[in-house]
Structure 1
């Protein structure tokens, strides 16, 4: 019998090849499948919403667990469903802790405790990498497939190193504030007395001040992109299935290109919707001006409705850009990741189809006052999930059999989940 050495020096027997096993070099393709439906998820969603309303939101951790279990159990990878095995107790504790911290921060803000607010903000920035790492450890540790447990094995030092854009972002805006003060020192404490009232003198805005703010926005965007890249690459490279580690190929410039294209799509969407809105309002305004006296009080209602509708349209203008970025990022990641030397993925998601699906889902959700939301979520999840194909070298049964024998025991499970906080959405 052949043996394979592991990291701890123990020899593990390799599974004996079956007569029906595929050749060692053969690569099998397994398109991913989603067996759920909008109607099936609607029942889960309706119960979650109803109980969350009745319990004033405290049903949230149970709702998240039921949602995760529904999508996991209907997600088939090589004809085997995923499993979500998170303990409900840990999810409840994480939720309660988050609620208490949020309440404490709001109380500090409303009571004017500036020192406490500053400490909350500094503490939040310092703990943000720990919270993210704990969430990934919890989420992956609760995922099972064919008896295999996913693990996030990054050390805390690696997580904090990958989080440097968070601290760089804080430094950028500290620099922006000091830069504005240097360019407009009169904006500090200059006060002019006008009658019995006092008002702060507002400095004139110069091109230099606008340049400083614009520079801060650009640097902030670059920091956000870098943070996303660092976290995704660390998540893939430090994820293990059995003894196989994730493989990552994308570079930072790939993310920058997607974000630049997303900004272009957003600007184009705003221009198009703005032009259509201006044309519609312009034509209607001429008619309304002639009927203003007859309409009377209804004129104010119509103007208010037009303003609200325009604001909603401008907000919705970001939907195509968000869908575009989501689709392009999904393609980039799933076309360039793998699992050791035994598995890789290929993504066939079409950006245009996904953007059109998102627009259709938003419109149907608005027209149905939110009732179409579960159907929209299932359709988008299905399009993305079923666009991925898994390629396994040597056959799924042979590879997973070896991985089951190589993975850590129950102690590893307990250690991996010890610091887990629930951030599963």
Structure 2
């Protein structure tokens, strides 16, 4: 019986170094407002335009400091303490890499482009891990700093879906050539810039292989998201207390399947609405005299443009739904060792409705409503979370401060301030 109890404890998460008794609930608060953030946002936008984007790292820091300082956890605000120099270095590094890639691509240096893409794929886990170290290392609460303690081996092991994805499309490419030998000739003609390359026949087997590749691609992306989020939580540390993680991979798959269903339903609804409106307009003008022909053509053109635009916007509810469901899944299933846990009561329908309203108001105001939209969405998510702490906050925070070790000591994290885009 003791062995079973021990197994359960190890599965739930790392044991706390102290075990207080009573549980206090502390709803999170956001004290900012759209009007306040608008002043921060408009200065960031104007200075970024004037400096041709050079002001971006300063804009990121100001944005992060605003949202952190107005987010209250158990009555105390968060702090964003990253040094500006580190964020500038990360921004310059990213810009140099982007510039090198664009120069190589625009000058036809295919070998250099290939090397840069391969290098980017190999280094992407390193960049992600450095960004997480930067983000958590720059976060403070009640004198406590967060840390990301994953080793580079753990980061690369969690990144295996990236490399599996490359193998999947390597297999699809060569599988296509086996199923259609003339495909190699077409690729050679394209490379030689032939005038009218003859397209090969597309067989059901090729379609099945391509569909398999797409399905495996989606599953790899979902697995990568799951691996990264779980590693981030389990290797996050406050004092000596580490994160606790309960979701499984299938929870993420279910969220994605539900998101696809919402997208399909939204597209069908928009298509039916557009079809009804277009049909009504055509029927209305068809009964008029021939002089209305020009207006009828204009109505058709406007209907087509509006239809394309509406189909693009149709993805917005699905993206908002996925964001809300993923937020619920995360914050209902994570904690800090056995000291604290979180509960989330965010409603997906309310968040989707808010996103649609914000999107329409942003379009109507030519983008000027964007800061108000961002604040309202952040507020809804933030204030839906409640922190449950075992023992008084003062007792727990004091114990964590005593546990806290000195020094973060990650040189690459110092340089790669690539997170927190404002």
Report the TM-score, using the length of structure 2 for normalisation.
0.90
Of 153, 157, 180, the match for 2:153:
157
- In the other structure, the counterpart of 2:337 is 340
Matches within 5 A, 1:14-53: 24-53=20-49
Query: Given the alignment of the two structures, is residue 374 of structure 1 paired with residue 371 of structure 2, yes or no?
Result: yes
Q: Distance in 2 between matches of 1:308 and 1:89?
A: 46
Task: Provide Cα deviations, 1:236-255, integer angstroms capped at 9, x if missing partner.
Answer: 00000111100001000111
- For the structure 1 residues 33 and 292, does the alpha-carbon distance in structure 2 shift closer, same or farther, using more than 3 Å as the test? farther
Structure-1 residue corresponding to 2:240: 243
Partner of 2:115: 119
Residues of 1 paired with 2:375 and 2:196: CA distance? 54
**2:198 aligned with 1:201, yes or no?**
yes
- Partner of 1:270, secondary structure, is helix
Q: Does 1:172 align with 2:129?
A: no
- Taking the TM superposition and a 5 Å limit, the aligned residue runs for 1:297-376 are 302-376=299-373
Rounded to whole Å, the distance in 1 between the matches of 2:113 and 2:288 is 53
Which position in structure 1 is the counterpart of 2:227?
230
- Structure 1 residues 132, 291: CA separation in 2 closer, same or farther (over 3 Å shift)? farther
Secondary structure class of the residue paired with 2:185: coil
Measure the CA separation in 2 of the matches of 1:76 and 1:157. Answer: 35
Which residue among 218, 235, 239 is the counterpart of 2:215? 218
**How far apart are residue 52 of structure 1 and its match?**
0.8
Alpha carbons of structure 1 residues 249 and 286: separation in structure 2 relative to 1, 3 Å: same
Contact 1:28 1:392 in 2 (8 A): yes
Indicate the SS of the match to 2:211: helix
Runs of 5+ unmatched residues, structure 2: 1-16
After TM superposition, the structure 1 stretch with the greater mean CA deviation from structure 2, 106-115 or 302-311, is 302-311
Equivalent residue, structure 1, for 2:94: 98
Q: CA deviation at 1:297?
A: 7.1
Conserved? CA contact 2:86–2:414, under 8 Å: no
Decide whether aligned partners of structure 1 residues 416 and 204 sit closer, same or farther in structure 2, where only a CA change above 3 A counts.
Answer: closer
In structure 1, how many angstroms separate the alpha carbons of the residues matched to 2:409 and 2:129? 16
- CA apart distance, 1:320: 1.0
Equivalent residue for 1:20? none
- Native 8 Å contact 1:248 1:338 kept in 2: yes
Of 126, 130, 150, which residue of structure 2 is paired with 1:130?
Answer: 126
For residue 383 of structure 1, what is the aligned residue in structure 2?
Answer: 380
Structure 2 matches for 1:52-71, cutoff 5 A? 52-71=48-67
Kindly report the root-mean-square deviation, in angstroms, between the aligned alpha carbons of the 2 structures.
2.2
Tell me: CA distance 1:248–1:310, structure 2 relative to 1, closer, same or farther (3 Å): same
Q: Cα distance 1:39–1:413, how it changes in 2: closer, same or farther (>3 A)?
A: farther
Distance in structure 2 (CA, Å) of the matches to 1:57 and 1:297: 45
Structure 2 CA distance, aligned partners of 1:115 and 1:414?
33
1:421 is matched with 417
1:209 shift after superposition? 1.4
Aligned equivalent of 1:187, options 176, 183, 186:
183
Whether the 8 Å contact between 2:317 and 2:355 is mirrored in structure 1 is: yes
SS at the partner of 2:175? helix
| Residue 93 to residue 299, structure 1, CA distance change in 2 (3 Å) | farther
Contact 1:137 1:420 in 2 (8 A): no
| Contact 1:90–1:422 (8 Å) recurs in 2 | no
Equivalent of residue 281 in structure 1, options 278, 282, 297: 278
Q: Deviations over 1:146-193 (max 9, x none)?
A: 00000000000000000000111111111111121122211222599x
- The TM-score normalised by the length of structure 1 is 0.89
Whether the 8 Å contact between 1:151 and 1:416 is mirrored in structure 2 is no
User: Which 10-residue stretch deviates more, 34-43 or 276-285?
Assistant: 276-285
CA distance in 1, matches of 2:80, 2:73: 14
Partner of 1:252: 249
Alignment correspondent of 1:142 = 138
Contact 1:36 1:378 in 2 (8 A): yes
Q: Secondary structure at the match of 2:244?
A: strand
CA distance in structure 1 between the aligned counterparts of 2:106 and 2:32, rounded to whole angstroms: 45
Gaps of 5+ in 1: 1-13, 16-22
Find the aligned partners of 1:226 and 1:417 in 2 and give their Cα distance. 25
Would you say the 8 A contact 1:162–1:234 is kept in 2?
yes
| Offset, 1:291 | 6.9
CA distance in 1, matches of 2:123, 2:235: 20
How far off is 1:198 after superposition?
Answer: 3.8
Of residues 246, 269, 272, the one that matches 2:269 is 272
Query: Is the partner of 2:280 in helix, strand or coil?
Result: helix
* Paired residue secondary structure (1:205): coil
Counterpart of 1:89 (choices 81, 85, 88) is: 85
